[in-house]
Amino acid sequence: MPPLAAATVSEALEMRARDTPDALAFAIDDDRLTFGQLRDDARWLAARMASLGLERGSRCALVLPSTLEAIRICHACHVLGVAPVAIDPSLAPAMIARRIERARPARVIVANPIPGLPSTLTLRDLQQASPASLDRVRGVEPGEVAYLQFTTGTMGDPKAAVISHRALAAGLEGMRQAFDLGPGDVVAARAPVHHSTGLVRYVFGTAWFGCASHLLGPTTSHVAPWLSLIARVGATVTNGPDFTFRVAASMRLPAPVRLETLRIATTGGEVVRAGTIRRFEERFGLQRIVQPAYGLSEATLIVSSARAGEALVADDQGHVSCGRAMPGVEIAIVDERGAPCAPGVAGEIAVRGAQVFEGYFDDEPSTREARRDGWLHTGDIGVLDTGGRLFPQARARSLIKRAGVGLAPREFEEPVEELDGIAGVAAVGIARPDRLTEDVVVVVETEVEGTDACARLALEVEQAIAREVGSIPLTVVVVEPGAIPRSGIGKVRYLDLQRLVTSREYLDAARFTG
């Protein structure tokens, strides 16, 4: 497959709008958008954004649901040379405000006013603004910033990864080549704009690949509508985390669903289970369709993936292969000193290539830690076999899934840490059988004894999290100091804790569970 004749996503969109202006680009429910309309709408919005103070090189925070309007605005940002910073609108206002403070955008675009947010524009403000001239606006350069992506923040506050247009183009071209994506493909997916999969693979990738993307609406989190969408539009391409396929394989459906048009469905974002893939494919009569992938925001999404039609491979411990490196990407496994590990030896996954990020916005120490000697050090553990296949073994990011999007445990832990009587706290997510959302379980260590005292403490924990996060955990487990599993240097072992909180013995030994 020859390289795409475009250096940036904006150039790719211009090419699609020129060559196939009436071809479908996006559909969400009954709203549809062709490539010609997307290009024209992006220019229309860019002229109005320019009149409202947005200029080349600035940043614009988007606190918007995942609608076609959000997609238009992302492309309008690129017309102006502005970097969009998409933020989950379902987060609590305090969490949104922290992300905005970190990104320091020139403007914040919201669907509806949010009290306390600075430099806010509503969609109505954009529509009513007088347009500025775009005559002097020139195309973006590959080295300029394409977008900022907030990471999950497992080891602290979420960081804003800076992705250049060059990195974005390299990541998208790697996907196009590896998965043979093109105008003949039909995508069906749930892809929030604020998530790297939604932003990279669909909002920007649709223009790069030239395919039609059918996306679920922003309020849809169930698995059944996703399956129905695939069947209804005859999708050839989809994706999802392991638990999406796991739920789909076992859920009861009101009517049979036919998925035979699929040629590839990538799965990643969490540990991939071979049993999940086998059960899903058996349930829907598929073979070698679901392909494991590994990636991260700092590498512009996908680092390695099995290809369409490849057989599922797992090692003796059950770790599933996430295939070989994407085109243009190098993967190494290194030890604690940064020296390469031999094939079959576990170590940290390191990545090198044009699609690696520039660094963390306004955070040189974290950038130096992540980017060393030309390599991105992911913090994740894995193995390469002699054939170059990557077997991730553990994710450093022990995320809590909320409607398919990961939130760091610290988002739930930090509001609790300052409460009186708290010796330690850790939050984990437990998968729900029918939703793309996990139940949040918060475990707190305390010297407090007695059922009534522990119940009062649990209530204080719920209230603190509700004030900061906007929702309360399903369960608060009160335990004695030392009952949260930790590493030798004191880090919480989240996967071990996740297993413990589903154990009857652990809960029976707790001082309070409620």
pLDDT in tens, 70-120: 999 999 999 999 999 999 998 888 889 999 999 999 999 999 888 888 889
- Specify if 118 maps to a domain: yes
Rounded Cα–Cα distance for residues 300 and 209 (Å): 16
Residue 473 clears pLDDT 80, i.e. is over it:
yes
Co-location of 48 and 175 in the same domain: yes
Q: What is the pTM of this model?
A: 0.82
Local structure of 412: helix, strand or coil: helix
- Specify if 3 maps to a domain: no
Average pLDDT, the chain: 91
Decide if 87 contacts 114 (C-beta within 8 A). Answer: no
- Specify if 106 maps to a domain: yes
More confidently predicted of 369 and 490: 369
**CA distances, 77 to each of 89, 165, 211, 274, 382 (Å):** 19, 12, 22, 40, 37
Q: Which range marks the domain in which residue 262 is found?
A: 221-293
**CA distances, 338 to each of 304, 348, 377, 389, 489 (Å):** 20, 9, 9, 20, 20
Co-location of 28 and 100 in the same domain: yes
pLDDT digits (tens, 9 = 90+) for 189-224: 987 899 899 999 999 999 999 999 999 987 666 789
What backbone phi and psi angles, to 5 degrees, belong to 290?
A: -80, 120
Co-location of 211 and 179 in the same domain: yes
Number of domains within the chain:
3
The mean pLDDT value for 368-389 works out to 94
CATH number at residue 491: 3.30.300.30
Structure confidence at residue 472 (pLDDT): 86
More confidently predicted of 424 and 358: 358
Order of all β-strands in the sheet with 160-164? 120-122, 107-110, 59-63, 83-86, 145-150, 160-164, 359-360
Q: Which of 342, 364, 394 is the last residue of a domain?
A: 394
Residue 499 clears pLDDT 50, i.e. is over it:
yes
Angle, CA 305 vertex, CA 279 and CA 328 arms, to 5° = 175
Co-location of 357 and 375 in the same domain: yes
The mean pLDDT value for 406-431 works out to 84
Structure confidence at residue 488 (pLDDT): 43
Co-location of 174 and 276 in the same domain: no
- Specify if 309 maps to a domain: no
- Specify if 399 maps to a domain: no
Q: Which of 359, 394, 429 is the last residue of a domain?
A: 394
Residue 498 clears pLDDT 50, i.e. is over it:
yes
Q: How many residues are listed for the chain in this entry?
A: 514
Q: CB neighbours of 19 closer than 8 A, spacing ≥ 6?
A: none
- Specify if 312 maps to a domain: no
Residue 476 clears pLDDT 50, i.e. is over it:
yes
Residue 243 clears pLDDT 90, i.e. is over it:
no
- Specify if 40 maps to a domain: yes
Decide if 162 contacts 361 (C-beta within 8 A). Answer: yes
Structure confidence at residue 116 (pLDDT): 82
Residue 406 clears pLDDT 70, i.e. is over it:
no
- Specify if 404 maps to a domain: no
